[in-house]
Amino acid sequence: MGVLGFSEEECRAIIRAVDEAVSNIMRHSYSGRLDRPIEVSCRSLRRRSNGKGGQGVEFLLFDRGPAVDPTRLSGRPLDEVRCGGLGLHFIRDSMDRVEYKRTGNMNRLRLIKYARSSKQRPNP
Amino acid sequence: MIKISARRVDKATIFDVSGDIDMSNSPELRKALLHEIRDARASRVIVNLSGVKYMDSSGVASLVEALKASRDVGSSLVLFGLSASTREVLQLSRLLKVFEVRDNEEQALTS
């Protein structure tokens, strides 16, 4: 993803988001079963229509678990020190767009992140 | 794949952890830390994360559970050797200032 202009920090954020998304599907959509299908596709995106920032990357994750209640996809408040519920927060914080959609008998999660332009990127 | 080894230095137990911590192996880390805190009653448990390049939310949850257990029994839990990635997930969780984090082993032993 470095070739698309993503910094190391942005690459780590993307890896974290996709990893947490797959973990959430395994844990919640498939109740811990490891033999269920998860489809993941990835493609590069042109820069945003407003011309700001660099190129982007889009991930689509499909699973065949039961429909997800969208109101439960907001992540929990972080003002309390407790275990669990951090994965969604990591995903939302790491990506520019997070969209959930039920299509047929499948859940579709769409994750998009755009590279910051070199002008916007803070000095190392 | 994760590797966890424990050693005693003075009155502290130091866990040297290496590999990526994710949902497949974080229960192993959780079990090791909770045993040392609750059963062995170590007064100071130190986690060396310098060999950990990646930690997911389940790894953070394991550390939070160990922190709560240490508070319950009146011991201390100290982290050191955080990589950029592990530091980021603790920052994202707003836990970086909740944990006692030190730069190296010497500081973790004496703080």
For chain A, domain boundaries: 2-114
| Contact yes or no for B61 and A12 at CB 8 A | no
For A21-57, what is each residue's pLDDT tens digit?
999 999 999 999 989 999 999 999 987 666 666 789 9
ipTM associated with this complex: 0.85
pLDDT reading at B48 higher than 50: yes
Asked whether A11 and A1 are in contact (CB, 8 A), the reply is yes
Q: Please report the beta strands in chain A, taking only residues with DSSP state E, as ranges in sequence order.
A: 38-45, 56-63, 97-103, 106-114
**DSSP E strand boundaries for A6-124:** 38-45, 56-63, 97-103, 106-114
Whether the CB-CB separation of B58 and A23 falls below 8 Å is answered with yes
- Structural domain spans, chain B: 2-110
Spatial separation of the C-alpha atoms in residues A13 and A54, rounded to whole Å:
16
What is the chain A residue with the closest CA to B89? A90
Q: Residue B95: its chain A contacts at CB < 8 A?
A: 81
Do the chains contact at A20 and B93, CB–CB below 8 Å? no
CATH number 1.10.357.10 given to A2-114: no
pTM: 0.86
Predicted confidence band at A124 (pLDDT cuts at 50, 70, 90)? very low
Instruction: For residue A23, give Cα distances in angstroms to A17, A45, A85, A119, B19.
Output: 10, 25, 12, 34, 18
Chain B CB within 8 Å of residue A25 CB: no
Quote the CATH superfamily of domain B2-110: STAS domain (3.30.750.24)
Distance CA A63, CA A29 (A): 8
Given a cut of 70, whether residue A87 has pLDDT beyond it is yes
